[in-house]
Amino acid sequence: MSEQATTLMVFFNLKPGTNEADYLAWAREVDLPTVNRLSSVTSFEVFKGLKMLGQQSASPWDYFEVIRIASETQFLQESQSAQMQQVIRQFETFATDAQFICTRDITTL
């Protein structure tokens, strides 16, 4: 039986003292292009949390990543490459409280 596609949702905040412009430049120039080149990834997007709907209170998370992967096994294998390990280490210099949640579209259940 083949693996079903999974959508990985990542919620995270920037570490205190992190320059947001530096994070955004890195995300656009390094993270997005590198992850989108992985053969297991069908799409990768990053969203900035703004506020709670209908309220003026801030989002509890600074950023949200949505990574659509064809194979969790293949994605985990590709994540072990030297290039991806470097990207992961760089991500960890910016992010705190990162939560990686595997999800599936309910229409496929």
Question: Which structural domains are found in the chain, ordered by start?
Answer: 6-108 (3.30.70.100)
pTM: 0.91
Q: What tokens were used for 34? A: 């590198």
Q: What is the pLDDT of residue 1?
A: 41
- Phi-psi domain of 51 (left: phi exceeds 0; alpha: psi -120 through 50; beta: other): beta
Q: Are the C-beta atoms of 6 and 72 separated by less than 8 Å?
A: yes
Q: Walk across the sheet containing 63-69 and list its strands.
A: 41-48, 63-69, 6-14, 95-103
pLDDT tens digits, 49-87: 999 999 999 999 999 999 999 999 999 999 999 999 999
Q: What is the pLDDT of residue 5?
A: 81
Whole-number Å distance between alpha carbons of 90 and 2: 32
Type of residue found at 34:
T
